Each structure stands twice: as structure tokens, then as C-alpha cells.
Amino acid sequence: MVRINVNGEERQVDVPEDMPLLWVLRDELNMTGTKFGCGIAQCGACTVHVDGTPTRACQTPVGMLTPDSKITTIEGVKGKAAQAVQAAWQKLDVVQCGYCQSGQIMSAVALLTDNQNPTDQDIDAAMDGNVCRCATYVRIRAAIKDAAQTMRA
Amino acid sequence: MLHHLIRQAAQHGFGDGLSLTPLPAPSRRGFLKAIGAGAGALVVGAHLPMPALAAEAAPKIVGPADPRPHAFVIVAPDNTVTVLAKHLDKGQGIVTGLATIVAEEIDADWSQVRGAFAPADQKLYANHFFGVQGTGGSTAVANSWDELRMAGAAARAMLVAAASARWKVPAGEVTVSKGVVRHAASNRSATFGELAEEAAKLPVPQQVKLKEQKDYVLIGKPDLHRLDHISKTNGTAIFSMDIRRPGQVTAVLARSPRFGGTVKSVDDAAARKVPGVIEVISLPVGVAVIAKNTWAAMKGREALTVAWDDAKAETRGTDAMLADYRKTAEKPGSVAANKGDADKAIADAKAKGGHAVDGEFVFPYLAHAPMEPLNAVVALNPEGGCTIWAGSQFQTVEQMTAAHILGCKPEQVKIETQWAGGSFGRRATTNADYIAEAVMIAKAYPKAPVHLVWTREDDIKGGRYRPLFLHRITAAVDAKGALVGWKQRIVGQSFMAGTPFEAVMVKDGVDATMVEGASDMAYPVANLAVDAHTVASPVTTLWWRSVGHTHTAYAKEVMIDRLAKAAGKDPVAFRMEMLKDHPRLAGVLKLAAEKAGWGQPLAQGKGRGVAVHESFNTYVAHVADVTVDAKGQIKVDRIVVAVDCGEVVNPDIVKAQMEGGAGWGIGHALRGEITMTDGVVDQANFDSYLPLRMSDMPVVEVHIVPSHERPTGAGEPGVPTVAPAVANAVFSVTGQPLQTLPFSRGGIVS
């Protein structure tokens, strides 16, 4: 049994310790908002927060987490930055296929939690690990700036 | 032409027992159940028979000439208006687009409009350009336009009739606006929901009056939000990857590392010992590992030992294939276009003070790599047949293929279409590849619903690529700088060959999708010779966002800049001179050039390039601004795009498609390539098949030409001209034409 804390709830799962958090979330806990895109931490579709840090769930063996690690997924993300980011995404109709957007949003929320006035270079650095094959990057950048403005106001 | 041929192919049948039998319309109850509507909803007359391809008889209307509100719109007592989309939404926003058309005619308030995927039903939901249900070729709005306007207008008329009957007032005095039906004189009003049940009992009008463009309140308005803009930002949108049926198991499939290889022997002892692995099954398509969860399935597959028989496999590398293509290109190919005498015109031009330009272009294999890896859930139904949950793009083909595998009737194959996490052409195949795999596994393991999951490695190594292409072009301008001769040879694989589409898509040895955009180029060359060689390989290939135009537009537009330079002409002016008889192409070229500030001086190291092309009846021009740094490395700074796709339903979605199309074109031009060594694909995942990332993405400015022409597509046409515009911008700085893709091959991209 592995004990983890997801979105503030303690969960017990009967899985091998090398199973990545991604598959624990998706297959064991039926939390499918976190997506499988590459499995090797190259696309960011599986981005969650572990103690506030954006983390690729596909390369995080569940056994490496402690019951004290606070895991936040798209289903549970909240707070000022999350609100501003999701509102900006909706206002600008960022999404196309939408499959990568859980991960994009989790990365953007982490960025804006730390930095409410990101430059284009800051955005590049924070978001380059999140691939969008629809290339919604123009709107992601605009939405991050919009959300940052909301947070500063 | 493509559309017409696909329809013909569909009518000819899919061979091997997969004939296209017309399916009965679903029952009204089945319909309601399928979209979750309750009793009393306005789903009218479940029997309306329609001529299959009325477009032939009434060319002004695409699709049946009578309104079919029952097929497309459900007004429920809860006051929602649900529009059934017969097309797959893989990000292009078509659910929103189709819903907008209906909402406009029914006069709904946008906040009450919902979208749902229609069931698989060829008779009700055929794409009128294909004859089968399917999405592709940027046809979704164009083939739905008439039927959805009529469906919306008919539903509106029925709501008006219901109000008229309830209030005992003349229908002509009843008005509708934003989802509210009113009789002003008696100061009465009712919502759609309040009238739904009564309206459902009324006959469907056979004639409806459609709105005039000036009266539109939703179509063409930039402020409508996509219907999926909330569910896709909070993790609640369901893709087939997210389907979880009771008892569901997960399968991964070990496939031959070489295309055309088959299973020789399997040792599955170690795989069966992996905790969570339930079963290992050898199938004609590979070895399936079935497990309790995805991780166990993947671990189980790693533990398999499979020996492969490569007797019929491709064992060449891509360098060897290209060398073979070059040899093939020495000989004349099958003729795709032949006007005048190109050889003579080119020789004459050279002899009389003109200039000839030679170009060899190499385009690599490219994977589609949609963000959601291919996957499907299949559950066998106790009464026979199965239910498939997938981002289904060619529903009719998938129904027939699954029926063939299971030995059931096509109508016993239900498809629950889901939001698709991208496609770019990949989910539409002529043999339903990954869905067929899932059905085969489900047939072999009937105990539980099976979720077949492709990993990213399966996807990148799995073929169905945009084919590798070689183009050789010689073209000439005369002493006055007029384009007088053009000779082009194209060598590559045909993804139509060997499919049910071959008989009609391949004419006189030429696959139309290999030469589209070249043999029919808009520039008026009096002496034009285009031919093609179709080469064979077990490497599987497929259409890829914008199909043949991905390479033909590139080669054409890069050559045009070289010819303009040889003629001493400005690239925009040179093109404008030649597009006098093509006002819509000239229109987008002029608009893009103006908006980009064409002709204004640029700083050292900055370049500006242009390209213009028609594809899928849509006209697009791109102007690209680039920086070439001291080390020769390039960065794309800005893209200006002008598009004319006729009447625009959702301008913001067209804009999004142009932004995304620009990224798609640039990303693959910079670094995209699939190569093989001894028949084994060298790339495996996004660490080696390098996608466009945030820091690569330029500013994109989109300008849409206002138009009253019939609407055409936007998903693909934004792709073909962006890469040649970038190449021409680099050419303007370095004088070096970029003719081998991707650009990273030339060392100019990090």
C-alpha cells in the first residue's frame, strides 16, 4: 500500500512503488484530468504540483512521494493564480484540442504564483517544457500576461 | 477534386467484404438515449428519408434539399439547444462552428447552446463530399452549411408554430430572439424549453426561409466563446484516453520494429509474470499484452521476447531510399500536367537572355504526433457487435472494418465519438488501423472492455507518415522576366495505392494527392510539365495536415522567389503580375503584404519573405519576418497571414486555426523529420522527434478577408505557405534557398 495526499485528501493505493504518479492518478484514482502525452517528461501534459513545484507525473515513481507530499492536480488546483489563469484561458479561448491544456495550466499557475510580472523570457523558460501540437502558444502567452495583470490589479 | 474522388471511391466500396451497405436510421429512442435528452424533447419525425447525394441533383445545395432538424438539433424542456455534430472535433473547433450555424437560424441565445457528437450513421450523417461519415479535407463547414441552416430554420418554424397554436395568434406575428418566442401584440412570451414538447408534435416544414447575412447575430461575430472553452481548462473534458468502463482492461501491442515485418516467434513467459498482466495474445498485427492498468501493460510488453520475420519488411534506411528516389527521378514519370513545350521554352529562355533555375527539394517523412496518443476502448455487446469509444474520424470506415472483424452488421457497431486530442490527419485512415487493432484484441479477449493505448513511441515509430518526397524542378523566366516554362518531377509513395481509394484516386499512374498544388498551379505558365513517380515501400504513409500541399506549395513558392530574383523583380510584384486572373489569391497576397509593411526597409540580419497558395478552396498568403544572427542561426519573429475562406462562421476560430497552422508549418520546417537506419525508425519520442515549443513561436497576426462566398475550410489551408514564406525570408538575407527540409539539416536551427 502506498499512501499519498492528492488535492488535500489522503489516498491509499495498492500499486508497485515504481508505478509513476501519472498512472496512479489516471488508472487507480480515476482522475483523468492529468494527461499522458509522452511518458518521458518531454511534453508536460502530465504536469502536477508536488508541494507547489510543477512536476512531471509520468517520471515520478509513486514510491518516491511521502504521505506528506502535497500533490495538486488540475481537478484540485485553486487559489488566486489558478483562478486568474483559468479565467484568462477561458476569456481568450486558448484551447484547441485541449489535451495538453491541463499541463499548460499547471505550469502557468506555478509560474504566476512565483512571478506576477513575467517577461517573455520568463514565459519561455517556464513553458518550454509543455508541448502543444495545435500550437496554441500565441494565446497561452497572451493568457499568462492577462492573468498576471489580473493578479497585479 | 479530392472530395469527388473520395466519394466515388466510397461508392465503389471498400473491397474485401467491406461493402458500403446503407444503414437504417436509428430509432428516435436510440437517438434521445445517445445524446442524453429526456422525453418531450423536440426531436422530430425519425423517418424522413433523404436522397443520399442530393447535391448532384441540386448543385446549389450541398446535401439533402429538405430540412432534417431531427438529425441535428434537440430543443429540450430544460431550455437547452443541443446541436449534434456529425464531425470529429480534434481541436479545430467544429462543434462550436456547427452549433453556431444552427443557433443562428433557430435564433437561440448562445448561452443555451450545447454540442454533442452524433452517432455513427452513414445515412443520416454522411459527409456530402465523401458519401460516408467522416471528417477531413477541411470540408466540415462547407458540407454542413446548407443542412444545418435548414435544420435550424425548420426547428425555429416549429417553435413558432407551437407558440402560434398555444396563443391562438397568427404565426406571422410571432417573433424569436435569443431563445425567447414572443407575441408582441398580446405581450406573451415563452422560452424554447417551454414550447419544446408541443413543437415536437408538429410536422417538419419542407420549405424554410433562411436568414440573410445582414441579419446574422451569431455567425461572423468575434465574441462567441468555444463550447469547449471551460471543460478543456478544468480537466473535465473527456477524451477516449479518459474512458473508464466497468471492468475495463488496458492493452498495448508489440509491433514489428520494421515496416512489413511479422511475428516469427514469441516468448511471453517473463511478460506473464509481470504483476498486473492478465493475458498475452498473438495477433496478425502484433502481440497484445493485456493488463489491469497501463503501467503493467507497458512493463509486460517490455518483458516480451519477440522474434520478427523481416522477409517482407523495409530494410533500407532513408538515405538509401532517397538515393533510390534520385535514380528514379532520372526517368520520366507519369504525366500529371503537360501544356506547351516546357523543355523548349526553358532552352529558348536561356538562349535569349532569360534565366533558368534548377532546384532539388527533399521533404522528409513526418509523423502527426497528436498530443493524445492513439487509443480506443472497445466493448463487445451481448447482442452482437460492439461499442467503440474513440476520437473517431472516419466513422463509416470504422464501423465497416469492425463489422468485418467481428462478423456482424455495420449497424451493430456503435461509435461513441469523443473529443480528440489532435489528429492532423492521423485518426482518419482507410483501414481504421488502431481501431481495427482494438477490435481484434477485444474479439480475442471478450471478457472485459479493452482499452488499446498507443505509447508515444508507438506513435512516432508507427508509420502513417507524410511520405518522403523528392522534387526536381527546372523553370525559366524570359528576358522580360516573365515565367515561361516549368518542368517538375515528383517522386514519392502514394498512400492511396493499395487502398479501396486507389481505383479512383490514382489516374494514369498519378495519385492526385501527390501533385495537387503543382500540376494545377495558379501561376499561368504556358509551358508546364509535371510528372510523378509512385514508389513502393512497406513504410506506411498517410495524409498529413494539408496533404500534398505540404510539399508542392513549398517547392513552388521557393522556386518563385528564386525566379523573381533571377528576373530582378520584387517577390510580391512578381506574383501579383501573374495572379491577375485569380482575384482571391491576389486579394490575400495584397492584404498580407500591406499589413506586414512589405517594401519597408529592414535592419541588418532581418529578412522578410512571402508565399501564397490555394488549398481546399481557401486562399492564404503568409509574410514571414526572420532574424539571421551572426552565426547563421535563424529565428522566426513574426508571421502575418491573410486568409479568404468565404463566409466566416466563427472568426476567432479561423484566427486560431491560422495561428495553429503557422506553428504547425514552422515547427516541422525547423526540426521535423522521421529517418530510418536499416529500416528501423531513428526517432522514438519528443526528445528526438522535436516539436515546436513556446520559445520557437513567433508573433502571428491574422487578417480575414470579408466575403459573401460560400464558406470553405480553415483547418488545413493555413499550413502550406508558412514554411516557404520563412524560407524566402531567409533567402532574402543569405541568398541561399532552403530546399532540404527540415532546416536543422542545414545547421541553421539549434
- How far apart CA A50 and CA B440 sit, in angstroms, is 40
Query: How far A124 CA lies from chain B's nearest CA (Å)?
Result: 5
B273 touches chain A (CB under 8 A): no
Residue A129: how many other CB atoms lie within 10 Å:
17
Query: How far A86 CA lies from chain B's nearest CA (Å)?
Result: 6
Residue the block writes with cell 532517397: B322
- How far apart CA B366 and CA B369 sit, in angstroms, is 9
Confidence of residue A45 (pLDDT cuts 50, 70, 90): very high
Q: DSSP of B697-723, one letter per residue?
A: PPEEEEEE----SPP---TTTTSTTHH
CB B517 within 8 A of CB B615: yes
Q: Where are the domains of chain A?
A: 2-72, 80-152
**The three three-digit cell numbers of residue B34, written as one number:** 445517445
Question: For A142-152, how does the pLDDT look when each residue is reduced to its tens digit (9 = 90+)?
Answer: 999 999 999 99
Report pLDDT for B507.
87
Report pLDDT for B37.
32
Mean pLDDT of B2-23: 38
User: For the stretch A83-103, what's the b/e string if a residue is b when 16 or more beta carbons lie within 10 angstroms of its beta carbon?
Assistant: ebbbebbbebbbbbbbbbbbb
B454 touches chain A (CB under 8 A): no
Q: Which residue of B has its CA nearest to A42?
A: B686
Residue the block writes with cell 490555394: B614
CB contact under 8 A, B294 and A27: yes
Q: Is B568 exposed, middle or buried (0-12, 13-18, 19+ CB in 10 A)?
A: exposed
- How far apart CA B71 and CA B146 sit, in angstroms, is 13
Q: Strand B413-417 to strand B386-390: parallel, antiparallel, or no bridges (unpaired)? A: parallel
Backbone angles phi, psi at B586, to 5 degrees: -60, -35
Confidence of residue B654 (pLDDT cuts 50, 70, 90): very high
Q: Which residue of B has its CA nearest to A130?
A: B693
Mean pLDDT of B254-270: 97
Mean pLDDT of B154-162: 98
Torsion of CA B193, B196, B198, B199, to 10 degrees: 140
Is pLDDT above 60 for B19? no
CB B184 within 8 A of CB B211: no
Confidence of residue B2 (pLDDT cuts 50, 70, 90): very low
Give the rounded percent of residues in chain A with a pLDDT score beyond 90. 100
Question: For B483-512, how does the pLDDT look when each residue is reduced to its tens digit (9 = 90+)?
Answer: 999 999 999 999 998 887 788 788 888 999
Report pLDDT for B500.
76
Edge-first strand order for the sheet with B634-644 is B606-615, B618-628, B634-644, B699-704
Is pLDDT above 50 for B43? no
CB contact under 8 A, B293 and A23: yes
Residues of chain B with CATH 3.30.365.10: 2-215, 240-311+374-453, 318-366+465-746
**Selection from A102, A122, A111, A113 nearest residue A44 by Cα:** A102
Backbone angles phi, psi at B675, to 5 degrees: -120, 165
Confidence of residue B42 (pLDDT cuts 50, 70, 90): very low
**Selection from B493, B563, B496, B572 nearest residue B534 by Cα:** B493
| Cis bond before residue B742 (omega within 30° of 0) | yes
CB contact under 8 A, B293 and A123: no
Model ipTM value: 0.98
**Cα B383 → chain centroid:** 35
A43 touches chain B (CB under 8 A): yes
Q: Strand B618-628 to strand B634-644: parallel, antiparallel, or no bridges (unpaired)? A: antiparallel
Report pLDDT for B22.
28
SS3 A71: strand
CB contact under 8 A, A98 and B225: no
SS3 B10: helix
CB contact under 8 A, B660 and A135: yes
Is pLDDT above 60 for B32? no
Among the CATH numbers 3.30.365.10, 3.40.50.800, 2.40.30.10, 3.30.479.10, which is that of B318-366+465-746?
3.30.365.10
Among the CATH numbers 3.40.50.1100, 1.10.10.10, 1.10.150.120, 3.40.470.10, which is that of A80-152?
1.10.150.120
CB B403 within 8 A of CB B413: yes
**Selection from B517, B513, B491 nearest residue B502 by Cα:** B513
- Option in B93, B238, B700 nearest A96 (CB): B93
CB B672 within 8 A of CB B713: no
Element counts in chain B: helices (H) and strands (E): 22, 28
SS3 B538: coil
Question: For B561-597, how does the pLDDT look when each residue is reduced to its tens digit (9 = 90+)?
Answer: 999 999 999 999 999 999 999 999 999 999 999 999 9
CATH of domain B2-215: 3.30.365.10
Among the CATH numbers 3.40.1180.10, 3.10.20.30, 3.40.190.290, 1.10.1200.10, which is that of A2-72?
3.10.20.30
Q: Is B742 exposed, middle or buried (0-12, 13-18, 19+ CB in 10 A)?
A: buried
- Residues 319-348 of chain B with CB under 8 A from chain A are none
SS (H, E, C) B638-666: EEEEEEECCCCCCHHHHHHHHHHHHHHHH
Question: For B597-609, how does the pLDDT look when each residue is reduced to its tens digit (9 = 90+)?
Answer: 999 999 999 999 9
Query: How far B505 CA lies from chain A's nearest CA (Å)?
Result: 29
**A&B contacts, CB < 8 Å:** 177
Distances, alpha carbon B145 to alpha carbons B155, B222, B541, in Å = 16, 19, 31
Question: For B165-224, how does the pLDDT look when each residue is reduced to its tens digit (9 = 90+)?
Answer: 999 999 999 999 999 999 999 999 999 999 999 999 999 999 999 999 999 999 999 999
Mean pLDDT of B388-399: 97
So what's the architecture of B240-311+374-453 in CATH?
2-Layer Sandwich (3.30)
Report pLDDT for B47.
23
**Selection from B489, B472, B566, B564 nearest residue B523 by Cα:** B564
Mean pLDDT of A55-77: 97
Backbone angles phi, psi at B417, to 5 degrees: -70, 135
Report pLDDT for B670.
98
Edge-first strand order for the sheet with B277-283 is B277-283, B286-291, B249-254, B450-453, B375-380, B386-390, B413-417
**Residues sharing a CB contact under 8 Å with residue A118, sequence separation 6 or more, in sequence order:** A111, A112, A126, A144, A145, A148
Is pLDDT above 90 for B518? yes
Q: Judge whether A2-72 and A80-152 match in fold.
A: no
- How far apart CA B721 and CA B551 sit, in angstroms, is 10
Q: Which residue of A has its CA nearest to B684?
A: A38
β-bridge mates for residue B249, sequence order = B450
Query: How far A56 CA lies from chain B's nearest CA (Å)?
Result: 14
CB contact under 8 A, B699 and A105: no
Mean pLDDT of chain B: 92
Half-sphere exposure of residue B397: CA atoms within 13 angstroms, side-chain side = 27
Which residues of chain A neighbour B231 with C-beta distances below 8 Å? 98
Question: For B665-692, how does the pLDDT look when each residue is reduced to its tens digit (9 = 90+)?
Answer: 999 999 999 999 999 999 999 999 999 9
Query: How far A9 CA lies from chain B's nearest CA (Å)?
Result: 18
CB contact under 8 A, A135 and B422: no
Report pLDDT for B501.
78
CB B567 within 8 A of CB B531: no
**Selection from B691, B227, B460 nearest residue A137 by Cα:** B691
Is pLDDT above 80 for B546? yes
Confidence of residue B250 (pLDDT cuts 50, 70, 90): very high
Q: A interface mutation test: which of B227, B228, B232, B719 has the most A CBs within 10 A? A: B232
Q: Strand B188-191 to strand B180-183: parallel, antiparallel, or no bridges (unpaired)? A: antiparallel
**The three three-digit cell numbers of residue B659, written as one number:** 495561428
CB contact under 8 A, B659 and A19: no
- Residues 210-269 of chain B with CB under 8 A from chain A are 225-226, 228-239, 241-242, 244, 250
